[in-house]
Amino acid sequence: MTLTDKRILLIIGGGIAAYKALDLIRRLRERGAKVRCVLTVAAQHFVTPLAAGALSADHVFTDLFDRQDEQDVGHIRLARECDAIVVAPATADLMAKLANGLANDLASAVLLATDKPVLMAPAMNPKMWSHPATKRNRATLAKDGVRFVGPNRGEMAESGEAGEGRMAEPVEIADAVEALVAPPVGPLAGRRIVVTSGPTHEPLDPIRYIANRSSGKQGHAIAAALAKLGADVRLVSGPVALPDPAGVTTIHVETARQMQAAVEAQLPADAGIFVAAVADWRPTVEIGEKIKKRSGEAPPAVEMIENPDILAGVGHHRHRPWLIVGFAAETENLLDNAAAKLKKKGADFIVANDVSHDSGVNARGVMGGDRNRVKIVSRDGVEEWPEMTKDEVAERLARLVAARLQTITV
């Protein structure tokens, strides 16, 4: 009963995923939460107020201009008499309304009037989710403090298309609610930790980019493990096909320079864990039109320029975190390269992993796989960890970070 006596206002948007919201009501109540529902006009084409009311055991609100509900400015009460607001499914329309300050129905008026945490579970067609307008709205909402869970990848119920846009499962959303309103108390409570994850994409032309095989699995697992120990985690993620970890503030970027700016914006912090595989170089010029292949012509020469070194920059920053952990993915001379990186970057630990084809963890080394075998390099020497899942590596590293920070007097 981790949500005992927590009051959750659930706004159900108008999408086919609205049927999952009924299961979400049940999942939240199983954990002790009191759930009150708002259904948009569109949502009522998919689920009924009767069903939502029966599952929540409370009155269901549908109309901003309902005489009885609004006689005492009901939308303001709804906005304030809760511990958090959950929007599931969060349609492209609801996201756009809140991002642009619109309030022409009950749901949008409540969202604009609230001073409580807001969690959105987006659900829409993959093309809608990847549209530049939706991307802009999501970035605006994240900047305004809105949290997100999902969307996940999968087949869309209404079209049969597959891609990113499927609403997170009710259990995932309930976990995210729990992290939002009942954060765990642990050894990292009160600590802010910045984590980077995934690759960066360096544009060559409008449709091509330079990148690497990083999946982001290890970085995202570390962010989640730190949050479970009570940390305030700020995850700066390159482009990945992973949902945002529950209980973590995620900032999405694409290029190395964007990642550098996002990381520095999160300083000062107690610790920095730099897992992202940042591209070392980028094209000097991003060509404005697609580079065409022409028969008989030599391939175009691409002039490169060095990207900023994010780990070294933070390691020597005036707001340097108390603890810095870097990652070194190497194909040869693993320990020598890791030791050199430790000294050059100003890190306290380097997590070194062998990504060569001969590493034995998977066919491509560890990049993109679900298992990892690492060595922890510090000024005290080298500690070799056995092969384990990336979640297990994350949990063990989170405990190491907690133990080290407990020895530091701030």
The residues that are catalytic are 212
Report the 10 Å Cβ neighbour count for 67.
Answer: 7
Pair type for strands 281-283 and 304-306: antiparallel
| Strand extents, DSSP E, 62-169 | 84-90, 118-122, 147-148, 152-155, 162-166
Residues 6 or more apart whose CB falls under 8 angstroms from that of 82 comprise 7, 8, 9, 36, 114, 116
Instruction: Please check whether residue 126 is in contact with residue 92, taking contact to mean a CB–CB distance below 8 angstroms.
Output: no
b/e map 223-250, b = 16+ CB within 10 Å: bbbbbbbbbbbbbbbbbbebbbbbbbbb
Beta-bridge partners for 237 = 197, 252
Nearest of 257, 20, 255 to residue 122 by alpha carbon:
20
Distances (CA, A) of 91 to 14, 48, 114, 123, 388: 7, 18, 19, 6, 39
Angstrom distance (rounded) from CA 223 to CA 352: 18
Position 118: which residue type? V
Gap between the terminal Cα atoms of the chain: 35
Beta-bridge partners for 42 = none
User: Checking phi first, is residue 119 left (phi over 0); if not, alpha (psi -120 to 50) or beta?
Assistant: beta
State CA 258 to chain mean position distance: 16
Angstrom distance (rounded) from CA 371 to CA 91: 35
Angstrom distance (rounded) from CA 179 to CA 176: 5
- In sequence order, which ranges of 114-255 are alpha helices (DSSP H)? 126-130, 132-143, 170-181, 217-228
DSSP assigned state of 240: -
Q: Is 92 exposed, middle or buried (0-12, 13-18, 19+ CB in 10 A)?
A: buried
